[in-house]
Amino acid sequence: MVGAGVMGGGIAQLLSNRNISVRVKDINTDALGGALREAYRIYSESVRRKRMKPFERDRKMRLISVGLTSDGMRRCGIIVEAVVEDFGIKQKVFRELGGITGPGTILASNTSSLSINEMAKVTPYPERVIGLHFFNPVNRMPLVEVIPADVTSKETIERTVQFARGLGKTVIVVKDVRGFLVNRILVPYLNEAGHLMEAGVSPQRIDAVAKRFGMPMGPAELLDHIGIDIAYKVAHILEGAYGGRMKMAALFEIVKEKKYFGKKSALGFYRYHGKKAEPNPGIQLPRPVRAISDEEILKRLIYTMVNEASLCLDEKVTSEPGAVDIGMIMGIGFPPFRAGLLRYADDTGLKNVAEDLGLLAVSVNRERFSVAPLLARLAANGQTFYPS
């Protein structure tokens, strides 16, 4: 593991829990201590819940070692990079790793949105570079996205998929585009929540609508758990890649500047006291210009994801609607009883979805709600995402 943040500690814990020895490397001793604390915290929670004995926790913790040097990396079968989501820093790490490892070592990035192709270019063996995107919290989220670069070898892809499955994860292989699959579909949902707040709809109401639909938490609450600073960075990257349809809600900039980073800072869209959450009085919303119904809130949240998923299928980010639905159920908690995002759209009727998006394009924002070409074609021909 290169990078000893929360994700680095979580991935190290996952590996050690599968009885795999793992070395965590960072340039900062405090960060290394943080990775060990994160792994110990996860194990201690299992002990508290009586799912593990203390001696088992201690044995598994001994499988994690930490250090400031790159000693032994040449002999590693796979190195997972989980440093800060900054392209320049990640390129520097991959350039260094490429110089000290041989052609048998896979170099995998845990990036959530940055280009694997560009990382591969700075290494002497680009065919062994791949994306391996874990979701947070690593020990609970069952999904992993595997993202080959254009030059990644079949052997590297197969070894990486087997590695992830050996960790008990469900794997989807997706194309190297900004945001990959899950985050690319998720960001419009989170962003639309921001636009609704800018129209005067409270975070509590938006979250209540989403949870009544079946989401495990609403988008404002999810932003607080992800970390608003992290979500802001990813949303900014995707806006740069996809333009106006992913234009970030200006409210996110304001919230970030106030250092309302979410649950980790005890202030986000909610104020946190231990496990208790209440509205954050520092979030000032404008007076609504018009009444917005719960039905409109739900359609704006969910249909914007359907539209983006349709674009992903058209661009061959994945060719299977089933991969989209598995990704959304296991990656963001889309309600399983609805059988997946695209299955839900089929059940609703693609003609109905396309018509509602068209109305929203006129009444709310044309760029964010213009009907995706694939969705428009299917709706016009009376077809569905899944062959009937």
| Active-site pick, 133, 195, 225, 273 | 133
User: Highest mean pLDDT: which of 241-250, 279-288, 378-387?
Assistant: 378-387
| Tally of CB atoms within 10 A around 316 | 10
**CATH number of residue 26's parent domain:** 3.40.50.720
Q: CB burial class (10 A; 0-12, 13-18, 19+) of residue 319?
A: exposed
Does 5 score more than 90 pLDDT?
A: no
Is 280 part of a structural domain of the chain?
no
Please provide the average confidence, as pLDDT, over all residues in the chain: 95
The string of pLDDT tens digits covering residues 34-51 is 999 999 999 999 999 999
Is 59 part of a structural domain of the chain?
yes
How much is the pLDDT for 6?
86
How much is the pLDDT for 74?
79
Q: How many helices (H) and strands (E) does the chain have?
A: 17, 9
Backbone angles phi, psi at 68, to 5 degrees: -100, -5
Does 135 score more than 80 pLDDT?
A: yes
Cα separation, 341 vs 322, whole angstroms: 9
Give how many domains the chain has, as a whole number: 1
Is 362 part of a structural domain of the chain?
no
Residue 133 annotated among the catalytic residues of the structure:
yes
How much is the pLDDT for 12?
96
Is 80 part of a structural domain of the chain?
yes
Domain region containing 31: 6-173
21-22-24 Cα angle (round to 5): 155
Contacts for 299 with CB less than 8 Å, ≥ 6 apart: 356, 360
Query: What residue ranges in the chain does DSSP mark as E strands?
Result: 22-25, 64-67, 78-81, 106-109, 129-134, 143-148, 170-173, 270-273, 276-279
Q: DSSP letters along 60-84, please?
A: HHTTEEEESS-TTGGG-SEEEE---
Cβ pair 160, 146 in contact under 8 A: yes
Q: Tell me which of 288 and 316 has the higher pLDDT.
A: 316
Is 289 part of a structural domain of the chain?
no
How much is the pLDDT for 9?
93
Q: Identify the band that residue 300 occupies on the pLDDT scale cut at 50, 70 and 90.
A: very high
Does 388 score more than 80 pLDDT?
A: no
Does 380 score more than 80 pLDDT?
A: yes
Closest CA to 195 of 286, 84, 305: 286
Does 72 score more than 80 pLDDT?
A: no
Interval 169-188 mean pLDDT: 97
Task: Return the percentage of the chain with pLDDT > 90, whole number.
Answer: 91
| Tally of CB atoms within 10 A around 201 | 20
Closest CA to 312 of 324, 300, 302, 299: 324
Is 14 part of a structural domain of the chain?
yes
- CA 67 → CA 1, 16, 85, 106, 255, distances in Å? 10, 16, 21, 20, 36
Least confident of 71-75, 91-95, 107-111, 176-180: 71-75
Cβ pair 73, 80 in contact under 8 A: no
Which H or E run contains 309?
Answer: helix 294-314
Is 315 part of a structural domain of the chain?
no
Is 233 part of a structural domain of the chain?
no
